[in-house]
Chain A
Amino acid sequence: MTNSEKNRLKDKAFQVFGVFCTFIGLVVLAIFLIDIVIEGIGRIDWDFLTSLPSRRAARAGILTAWAGTLWILVLSALIAFPLGIAAGVYLEEYAKKTKLSNFLEINIANLAGVPSIIYGLLGLELFVRIMNLGGILLAGALTLSLLILPIIIVTTREAIKAVPRTIRDGSFALGASKWQTVWYQVLPASFGGILTGVILALSRAVGEAAPLIVIGALAYVPFVPSSPMDEFTVLPIQIFNWTSRPQAAFLTNAAAAIIILLLITFLLNGIAVYLRHRQQKKIKW
């Protein structure tokens, strides 16, 4: 066997290995999805979406759980979106390379990797105890905002970095101030990327149960929250609760609720893909 033949063989082998690795992930995901759908799809109907929790698996619904999830989603977005983008813009456009900004950068990158339960403990002490909010929606949303802020900041910076230097120079050349350049050129050009980051971060927040249980989110809530000061439950907590029940019918309920949660996540991811696509079509440099 010549050398070049050997190399070609190695190349082939690596290719097969790569395909194999890719498929492991996909196959596991597919098996999981199929299993969940088979188990739960028959349970989903209008009543399931509009009923209160119940001890009878067949009558139990997820109204308060998905309403709580929606509330958390909107509130976290309202809190984390402006903060995250402002921080990203500052770090990328304004901050000088000092020790302080280096320190901030490293810490933000590290925060993105902190386990969510730690944020739950932080939220419990800061929002629930010190600010005395109690286990309400606002405290939950603030906690999850902390959780997703690092992700939003990092993606905002990446998106802003992708805007070519020449755009800024052109804007400055026309006499625009720094703020005008950021507001009229840089942010619009990077908005698709930023929004994608925000939505991906939110779809992570939607799946969190642990930090919310820590701050005092409940399991049985027989009313839909009407303000950010209300107590609440969310879908992951309802799912967690049902999977630990002895009766098999509750496991079916859990599977059905998982499908709804997956739909919400897929919907959010779909929006992110769409926004990115639209953005790419619009910008031609």
Chain B
Amino acid sequence: MLQLSFSRLKFSAATLLCASLMMTSCGGNSQEGGNDLAGSIQIDGSSTVYPVTEAVAEEYRAEAPDVKVTVGVSGTGGGMKKFTRGEIDIVNASRAMNASEEQTASENGISFVQLSVAYDGLTVVVHPSNDWAQDITVAELKKIWEPEAQGTIKRWNQIRPEWPDQEIHLYGAGVESGTYDYFTEAIVGKSHSSRGDYTASEDDNVLVQGVSTDPLALGFFGYAYYEENKSKLKAIPVNDEDDSNGAGAILPSLETVKDGSYAPLSRPLFLYVSSKAIDKPEVVDFINFYLENAGELAQEVGYIALPDNIYNEQKQKFEQFVEGAATATNQQ
């Protein structure tokens, strides 16, 4: 009886395997249209950049059906680790590569090119019933978020005396995210440095939920999350007190982020391409396709396109990088 059960189990396991193998054969071989490049492209990194890359990868399937593009979401830091070890071809990054990552890359003989693909506008938000905060300056944001504020800046009127004498509840990106690094760099002046006593989440939807149900809240997150939840939130215009890039307090919008007047909280999203990857023609083709379509697709998934001339600059930058790598190999 026992042998019987064992063999039956073996049989059902084999059936399951066969079933999934069959699924493969009907999913894999699409030969229609496009060019005849084949191969694989490994991308990993920021979950903020992920939607753009996912959209491009999806469209690229029509262009080159035999190129397998895979995208992971281990975060900008996690992606950089893999990238600088040469484990992946391209990294999605919501911040620039830092010095220690650069060093690891050069130790491993990897050079790279940084390409901007879209903008995101970090949006400062409050509850819709908040009628006092009509604008905020970068200095005030710094006063709220800098490490020294921990345990001391707790009430709205400590920031501006005419604001009410009520508690302020803070919501922001978790410390592992590129969003946090960017925000602290832009506001506090030093990356990865802020007070710790605020509600932190890597998931912006949690922050939306928090701010939209808390009348005393102040939070920040990506523009797409504000745009999708406009009815439950109120964005505050930010004044960088520098009139050369637009005077006064400015609200984030497609225009103000694109033309750079929403400063300093509009941030570029990056791709880094490894010198080892551009030996593969499919990677070069994919990047060109990416830069060609990023503007439109970024907007579709909730980000903001770069101006056309910047996309052209990125294309040139990438072309030079590919040529440079080719000459370097020829000289060896």
Contact = CB atoms under 8 A, between A and B. Distances in A.
B28 A246 contact: no
Contacts of A216: 44, 72, 74, 82
Contacts of A213: 73-74
B228 A70 contact: no
A225 B24 contact: yes
B24 A224 contact: yes
Contacts of B42: 231
Contacts of B225: 246
A191 interface: yes
Interface in B280-311: 297, 300-302
Contact of A224 (B2, B23, B57): B23
A63 B69 CA distance: 16
Interface residues of B, number: 48
B331 interface: no
Contacts of A184: 2
Contacts of B227: 246
B20 A71 contact: yes
Interface stretch (A6-14, A169-177, A237-245): A237-245
Nearest to B56: A55
9 contacts: A78-B13, A219-B72, A220-B70, A222-B58, A222-B69, A223-B28, A231-B70, A245-B205, A246-B228
A55 B72 contact: no
Interface string A186-225: 0110010000000000000000000001101111111111
Contact of A244 (B23, B24, B53, B205): B205
A247 B1 contact: no
A216 to B, nearest CB: 6
Interface of B (DSSP majority class): helix
Given A216-B74, A220-B54, 8 more contacts: A54-B58, A55-B301, A64-B27, A71-B20, A218-B44, A218-B70, A221-B70, A223-B68
A77 B20 contact: no
B186 interface: no
B204 interface: yes
B21 to A, nearest CB: 7
4 tightest A-B CB contacts, nearest first: A220-B71, A188-B2, A55-B55, A226-B24
A244 B204 contact: yes
A245 B51 contact: yes
Contact of A188 (B1, B17, B27, B55): B1
B5 A244 contact: no
B71 A218 contact: yes
B58 A219 contact: no
Contact of A243 (B53, B203, B222): B203
A262 to B, nearest CB: 19
A222 B56 CA distance: 12
B73 A219 contact: yes
A55 B20 contact: no
B50 interface: yes
Contacts of A245: 51, 205
A183 interface: yes
Interface centre among B16, B58, B224, B300 (most CB of A within 10 A): B58
Nearest to B65: A222
A244 B229 CA distance: 14
Interface string A55-97: 1000000011001001101100110000000000000000000
Given A241-B73, A243-B205, A55 B297 contact: yes
Interface in B15-49: 16-17, 19-21, 23-25, 27-28, 42, 44, 47
Contacts of B27: 63-64, 223-224
A53 interface: yes
Given A67-B23, A246-B224, A191 B2 contact: yes
Given A53-B54, A191-B5, A245-B51, A226 B70 contact: no
A224 B20 contact: yes
Contact of B28 (A183, A224, A247): A224
A246 B71 contact: no
Given A74-B20, A220-B54, A247 B68 contact: no
A229 interface: no
Contacts of A223: 24, 27-28, 68
Contacts of B300: 55
A248 interface: yes
A74 B24 CA distance: 16
Interface string A241-261: 101111110010000000000
Nearest to B59: A55
Nearest to B69: A222
B258 interface: no
Interface string B209-236: 0000000000000101101110000000
A245 B225 CA distance: 8
Contacts of B297: 55
Contact of B205 (A78, A231, A246): A246
Contacts of B155: none
Contacts of B47: 241, 244
Given A219-B71, A222-B61, A183 B2 contact: yes
B44 to A, nearest CB: 8
